[in-house]
Amino acid sequence: MSDLSAQLPGWRGGWLNRLVAKPGFQSWASRFPLTRGQARRDGAVLFDIVQGFVQSQVLMAVVELDLLRRLRGGPLTATRLSTATDVPADRLEILLRAASALKLLRRDRSGRYHLARKGAALMGVPGLEAMIRHHKAFYADLADPVALLRGPDQTELSEFWPYVFGARGEIDPGVAETYSDLMAQSQRLVAEDTLRAVSLKGVTRLLDIGGGTGAFLEAAGAAWPDLHLALFDLPQVTPGAVARFDAAGLTGRVTLHPGSFRDDPLPRGADAISLIRVLYDHADETVEALLRAVFAALPPGGRLIISEPMGGNTAPDRAGDVYFAFYTLAMQTGRTRTPGEIRALCEAAGFAGIQSPAPARAYVTRTLTAVRPAD
């Protein structure tokens, strides 16, 4: 019934919503032949939303206990897995059945558990298990979502990602390595989708700002063998970038520029500059200043490439407007923006020729490109 009410304009939609909201109507609609299909679908969707936090915690337990890898070699019983995980078999059985209901595992008639296709796919997504593990901080911030919306003094995620507040020398190298590794793992999928959506044809030198240890540049360099690469990021991540480019055989094609875009001038000489998962980490005033600096660093005709999660323009998006919107809220800086909002920020900085193609996977990234016009 909710689908129908969304299609009805004005007072008619409001009247139908008031009717649908009555418990008696719901009971009737679930029995009446013409409405029971929609009523049951609505009920199933609502219940899935209600139990969503339990599904997330089941997933966390599966990853923490390394069940997917334990089952990769073949099926095992709850008793065998109990010994390996130090969880009582009867309690582990609850988790295994839940994971099977979520289609991460599969239970056969003999009671043994197998790795299911969805569970195998989870292991095949770079960085996904690391992201799930670091969600402990996010869960803590979402324990009281209303308090989060009202603006606490401190959050768990803001402690996990200190660099977004402009920290430089005071960042512990171990902390820098932790978030750089997580960023690098998650960047592989982002790089794939970005390079599918954006052609680097005609680009001779690409400068990646805030690119961590260079995961995006590594992918760009592999896809475009004649491209010269430059990386600008905090000094603490430089050692990881050196190791990455050396292992990839790209050292001779890469120039490293340690620095902070908040405080240091951007390197000149690139005819394309990329901002991969950068803008949504920062407040509008920081983004405005960064885009002006990028505009100044590019030559006429130079290209800007932005790739990150974004909200939906006219219709809210489940990835950008749910997960990433609350994630950035918990970080206490930045926010997910719609392509239209990013377009407006780029135009204010002087850019033109702005394009934002439809994304292949909106939950991975969306892209936007712009050009510095001729003077």
Q: Is residue 93 very low, low, confident or very high in pLDDT (cuts 50, 70, 90)? A: very high
Q: Which sequence spans correspond to the domains of the chain?
A: 2-50, 53-124, 149-371
* Per-residue pLDDT tens over the stretch 181-208: 666 667 888 999 999 999 999 999 999 9
CATH number of 53-124: 1.10.10.10
* Residue 8 clears pLDDT 50, i.e. is over it: no
Q: How far is CA 223 from CA 114, 200, 226, 365, 370, in A?
A: 37, 9, 9, 19, 21
Q: How far apart are CA 372 and CA 188, in angstroms?
A: 28
User: In this structure, are strands 303-308 and 205-209 parallel, antiparallel, or unpaired?
Assistant: unpaired
**Max mean pLDDT range (78-92, 182-196, 308-322):** 78-92
The whole model's pTM is what?
Answer: 0.84
* Per-residue pLDDT tens over the stretch 262-272: 999 999 999 99
Fold of 149-371: Rossmann fold (3.40.50)
pLDDT at residue 29, as a whole number: 64
117-124 vs 128-142: helix axis angle to the nearest 10?
A: 90
Span 291-320, average pLDDT: 95
24 vs 301: which has the higher pLDDT: 301
